[in-house]
Structure 1
Amino acid sequence: MSQAARRLSSVAARLSAAALVLLSVPAAAETAVSPESLKSHVAYLASDALEGRQPGTAGYESAAAYVERAFKKAGLKPGADRKWRQSVPLVLTRREFMTASFELIGPGGAMKLAELEDFIPVKPVDREAFDVRAPLAFAGYGVVDEESGYDDYGTLDVRGRIVVVFSGAPKSFEGAKRAYLGSNEAKLKTAAARGAIGVLTVPTRESEAQSPFARAVERADQPGASYVGADGRAHVPAPQIAAAARLSVEGARALFASATTSFDALEAAEADGRPLHAFEMPAQARLNGATRLTRIESDNVVGLVEGSDKKLKDEVVIIGAHLDHLGVRRNAKEGEDAIRNGAMDNAMGISMLIETAKKLKELKPRRTLAFVAFTGEEMGLLGSKYFAKNPPLGGRRIVGVVNLDMPLPLYPLADVIGFGAERSSLGALIAATGAEMGLALTPDPYPEEGIFARSDHFSFVVEHGTPAVFLFTGVKNGGEQIFRDFMKTHYHRPSDDLSLPIDWDSAARFAELNARLAQRIADADAAPTWNPGDYFGERFGKKAATAKEQAAGGKR
């Protein structure tokens, strides 16, 4: 048995044992969620009339109004400081196509790279033009982890330099931690802390297979975005970084042409897991371009079910789903379908959010439930980040988060995945709830994707240290292959629409599972807790403990 298989088996055994402690396993329960209601919601939200629900468009506003009406009809209360909407101020930035320039100046002379063939510039949200020239330095993945002592920079001085880094993070880190450390935001912050003024990302074999440069070119028309902070400025994780870009394999080869080590040699070393030593490069790079900045408002929609327990009603469980998608492709060819309807991503999740709210409103949960349709997820979790930083909940404490994002009920549902289940006490609740419905809990089969760190629930992990879970349709009955095929063929493309073979009965069962899980969390005597030694619990969980102490009148 492989190490990965042993890990999955061990996790499954622990969760199964915990489930048996919680309950004896009855026969699969009938669902109270209506398949027809789900179908009706998705048909509207993924229709061409809404043009892909991109924030700032009439289509998104129509979708937000639909959710607000549904919450009102279900009997929820306005949940954003007694209003239905939390307005999220955003800055959008669009590239001026084919105006960016990337010049390499090396010992043998200068050469220019081609935009959308060799490189794609990152769109800044805090300036309308960028122009940086500086010497280059290679710094492995650009990752620093204090916990393990891992440091790609070592003694390399990158002050005033443009840093070249591989996509992602070392395979030695477990999936979600690897995704967090390998995120663009984390790398920009690390580079800025070391004094760099630019970051260039080059592909690994793994990253190019998972997210090809050609797919990024397809999405090059998408606006960059950030939320606006209390100071009136766009939130930028590392304002010291004046320019950044993603390079193709060919662009990366040109970048290292004058270096002592070729890109092909570095790429092979990375693929083999060999050490990547940081070094100064003999070339300089000049990167410049222009963007157009626009300020808009886009809303999170929030409905509340007030808790019934006097002692627990000021604790909130969030059930969230993102409402936005990618809108209309500006660079579509004549005759091509240009509308990215987002039926699975995430009209399906929103439909389940609405039906979950309808069900739980009637059950009088002990804790307060907040149902939130987030804006700006596709732009970088912006709606959830803004909500987490500015919770409009009247001082109530967020104690748990259940996230509904891109479920794929395209086959008979027999099991579910709980991204993050093994990290907190939520894992046992998920196993118990699934067993109650005859649904097995499958440990994360896609650890290389780092999915736990890539959706809206993670904003609350980082900002509040809140235990969270992201349930997903499982691997049985062909589910794993269907997921991989969807990611390759339909993800973020116009073909994610109502022509997909949706199993509405499975969709209803999955919605019911999420509703029952939320009910269990809301009615439990104790709030969710991180498992001892969990990376995110140790890194961010102290925020939750401090907040609880403050609420009880304790000291910092």
Structure 2
Amino acid sequence: MAMRGAGLKRLGLAAAALLALPGGAARAEGPAPDAQTRAWWALTRELSSDAMEGRDTGSRGYDRAAAIVAKRFAAAGLKPVGTGGGWFQPITFEDLRLDEARSRLLIGGQRLRFNRDVQLSPSAATPKALMAPATFRGYCSAAEIAEVKGQVVVCYGRPAPARVKGFDRAKALREAGAAGMLLIAAPGLPGEPIRWPFAYSRSVTPLEDSVKAAGGASFLQGTLNPDALARLTAQAGEILRSGAAGADLPRAELGQASAALTVTRRVTRSANVLGLLPGTDPALADQAIVIAAHLDGYGRGEPVAGGAIYNGTLDDAAYVALLEQFAAMRAGKGLKRPVLFAVFTGEEKGLWGSRWFVKHPTVPIASLAAVINLDQVRPLYPLKLLTVHGLKESSLGDLVRQVATARGIAVQEDPEPERDLLRRSDNWPLMEAGVPGASFVFATYDAASRAAYRDWYERRYHHPADDLSTPLDWQAAADFNRFFTALTEAAAEVPERMAWAPGARPGTR
């Protein structure tokens, strides 16, 4: 689709000049992209540069990026619909971070390195000091955690095996009087291997929620690297082999756990950016289409191969940039339905921005007809097949199929429901509130696409290497961007309001 508006044409020329510089287009694979794709990548480059410091929730880098997004929305003629009629919907957070330099944790005399051997989840319950026996109790099912009072309990645990599905192990261990729980981060799912190191040991929670959750007994909680298990027990090999097979696991006593932990607390603010493209049909004014992406990333974290800024280029700067580009393309040209541009904060910390919007809407939830969410989009190989989360839940899925088919793209339901991706991004809080939704993943279809997908998850996902060096398939990126544009325009123009499939609305099953 040709670009619209003089402003976007100027942006395209600027992007062409930028990508002609060293380190520009040569970073990605394939032929030079068209002007529209160059303009999109220039926006992406700005949002995910080191100057934005990884756009961590509550950081100055995030605020700089949010200001850029708001400026672009204003230039495109969107209407601000944040708090008080501005562009921003600020959220006050409690930010708890383990001070790794001033903390230590040992089990059986073995010191564990934070973020590499163990990642802790700081909370108001995290103890300043701890001395307690440590025990491995298999999967920590109800039958395996008898008599654990006063002990740190290690559980084989990520992803949760079928035998404890639906069982809240942390809650059960707290009720049993355990001193803490460490889940072994097992090798993970085939499509999403668990990678170490983690960026940091930290939690971010809206202040109003953290105040309500305060109180109770101390409790240590975190994740244990399976590679560290061999230092804690001679049974490590048997445990990991049996756990991977879902077989019964032995019990093992791990010696004494001792800890001295310093957790720093800050109160920070971070904001959603919200803009509205008014509709042209007054009869459809209460049927806005939400297009969403998250601006936050991981910021600065544990260095990997010398890099400490987690730029988050594909996760999710590129798709905030796509919202910016779509706003510029539609400047002065509304669609029948209003379009709400929702750029959320705090997604990586618990979907907090979208949850906050649903809880404190600046646009009535009842007036939202559908949500099209951009996250988990990785244009690494030709776009032939899209996995669509929400494909059969509502008539939005039918529209997705029609638009994709017209562009030569096949669609499928989620082939990996065990990853629960439908509920792990900002579409989900809106869907829980009754808004039909959809999100997308580039599906794999041959050995080359599977290798590229796995390589990205192993080396780049939530790591500093998710940056501008990622080898993109330019044509795939352009194909997806145009699919998104066509889908949004179709959703805003289709005569009928989006409807849930029978029994598909969350809470009705």
TM range (shorter): 0.7 to 0.9
Residue 120 of structure 2 aligns to which amino acid in structure 1?
Answer: V
TM-score, normalization: structure 1? 0.73
C-alpha displacement of 1:526: 3.3
- Post-superposition Cα deviations, 1:13-32, rounded to whole Å, max 9, x if no partner, equal xxxxxxxxxxxxxxxxxxx9
Query: Taking structure 1 as reference, are residues 401 and 415 closer, same or farther at Cα in structure 2, changes over 3 Å only?
Result: same
Query: Taking structure 1 as reference, are residues 389 and 280 closer, same or farther at Cα in structure 2, changes over 3 Å only?
Result: farther
Residue 388 of structure 1 aligns to which amino acid in structure 2?
Answer: V
Distance 2:418 2:477 in 1: 26
TM-score, normalization: structure 2? 0.78
Residue 346 of structure 2 aligns to which amino acid in structure 1?
Answer: G
Query: Which of 99, 103, 118 is equivalent to 1:100?
Result: 103
Query: Taking structure 1 as reference, are residues 207 and 191 closer, same or farther at Cα in structure 2, changes over 3 Å only?
Result: farther
Distance 2:37 2:431 in 1: 32
C-alpha displacement of 1:63: 1.0
Distance 2:327 2:174 in 1: 43
Query: Taking structure 1 as reference, are residues 422 and 494 closer, same or farther at Cα in structure 2, changes over 3 Å only?
Result: same
The aligned residue for residue 387 of structure 2 is 417
Query: Taking structure 1 as reference, are residues 235 and 139 closer, same or farther at Cα in structure 2, changes over 3 Å only?
Result: farther
Query: Which of 43, 46, 55 is equivalent to 1:44?
Result: 46
Bigger CA drift: 264-273 or 289-298? 264-273
Query: Which of 459, 481, 498 is equivalent to 1:527?
Result: 498
C-alpha displacement of 1:301: 0.5
Does residue 91 (structure 1) correspond to residue 123 (structure 2)? The answer is no
The aligned residue for residue 166 of structure 1 is 156
Cα-Cα RMSD = 3.8
Query: Taking structure 1 as reference, are residues 44 and 251 closer, same or farther at Cα in structure 2, changes over 3 Å only?
Result: closer
- Post-superposition Cα deviations, 1:389-448, rounded to whole Å, max 9, x if no partner, equal 222224644443221114222333233221332444433222111012221114434445
Does residue 224 (structure 1) correspond to residue 195 (structure 2)? The answer is no
Query: Which of 234, 237, 242 is equivalent to 1:269?
Result: 242
**Where does 1:11-30 land on structure 2 (aligned, <5 Å)?**
none
Does residue 339 (structure 1) correspond to residue 309 (structure 2)? The answer is yes
Residue 245 of structure 1 aligns to which amino acid in structure 2?
Answer: G
Distance 1:195 1:518 in 2: 52
C-alpha displacement of 1:321: 0.7
Does residue 80 (structure 1) correspond to residue 86 (structure 2)? The answer is no
Does residue 130 (structure 1) correspond to residue 122 (structure 2)? The answer is no
The aligned residue for residue 354 of structure 2 is 384
C-alpha displacement of 1:271: 2.0
Distance 1:402 1:38 in 2: 19
The aligned residue for residue 294 of structure 1 is 266
Query: Taking structure 1 as reference, are residues 457 and 234 closer, same or farther at Cα in structure 2, changes over 3 Å only?
Result: farther
The aligned residue for residue 480 of structure 1 is 450
Distance 1:72 1:118 in 2: 43
CA contact (8 A) 1:46 1:343 kept: yes
C-alpha displacement of 1:309: 5.0
Query: Taking structure 1 as reference, are residues 166 and 453 closer, same or farther at Cα in structure 2, changes over 3 Å only?
Result: farther
The aligned residue for residue 470 of structure 1 is 439
Query: Taking structure 1 as reference, are residues 362 and 446 closer, same or farther at Cα in structure 2, changes over 3 Å only?
Result: farther
SS in 2 for 1:526: coil
Residue 182 of structure 2 aligns to which amino acid in structure 1?
Answer: L
CA contact (8 A) 2:394 2:499 kept: yes
SS in 2 for 1:296: strand
Does residue 70 (structure 1) correspond to residue 75 (structure 2)? The answer is no
Query: Taking structure 1 as reference, are residues 272 and 321 closer, same or farther at Cα in structure 2, changes over 3 Å only?
Result: same
- Post-superposition Cα deviations, 1:28-85, rounded to whole Å, max 9, x if no partner, equal xxxx992232122112112232222223333222211111111112221112242210
**Where does 1:239-388 land on structure 2 (aligned, <5 Å)?**
242-249=219-226, 251-253=228-230, 262-275=235-248, 285-310=257-282, 312-329=284-301, 331=303, 336-359=306-329, 364-388=334-358
Does residue 393 (structure 1) correspond to residue 371 (structure 2)? The answer is no
Distance 2:255 2:281 in 1: 66
Percent pairwise identity: 26
C-alpha displacement of 1:348: 0.9
Distance 1:362 1:472 in 2: 31
SS in 1 for 2:482: helix
- Post-superposition Cα deviations, 1:191-246, rounded to whole Å, max 9, x if no partner, equal 54666552211233446995456333xx23x643222127xx45759965621122
Distance 2:483 2:246 in 1: 40
The aligned residue for residue 214 of structure 1 is 196
Distance 1:236 1:311 in 2: 44
SS in 2 for 1:214: coil
Distance 1:155 1:446 in 2: 29
Distance 2:214 2:335 in 1: 38
Q: How many residues align?
A: 472
CA contact (8 A) 1:467 1:530 kept: no
SS in 1 for 2:89: strand
C-alpha displacement of 1:171: 5.7
- Post-superposition Cα deviations, 1:78-107, rounded to whole Å, max 9, x if no partner, equal 122422100011222222224434455xxx
Unmatched runs of 5 consecutive residues or more in structure 1: 1-31, 105-109, 143-151, 543-556
C-alpha displacement of 1:364: 4.2
- Post-superposition Cα deviations, 1:251-296, rounded to whole Å, max 9, x if no partner, equal 4456566xxxx4544433322233569x796966444411111111
SS in 1 for 2:463: coil
C-alpha displacement of 1:300: 0.8
Distance 2:74 2:106 in 1: 56
The aligned residue for residue 142 of structure 2 is 153
Distance 1:512 1:190 in 2: 49
The aligned residue for residue 55 of structure 1 is 57
Unmatched runs of 5 consecutive residues or more in structure 2: 1-33
CA contact (8 A) 2:120 2:202 kept: no
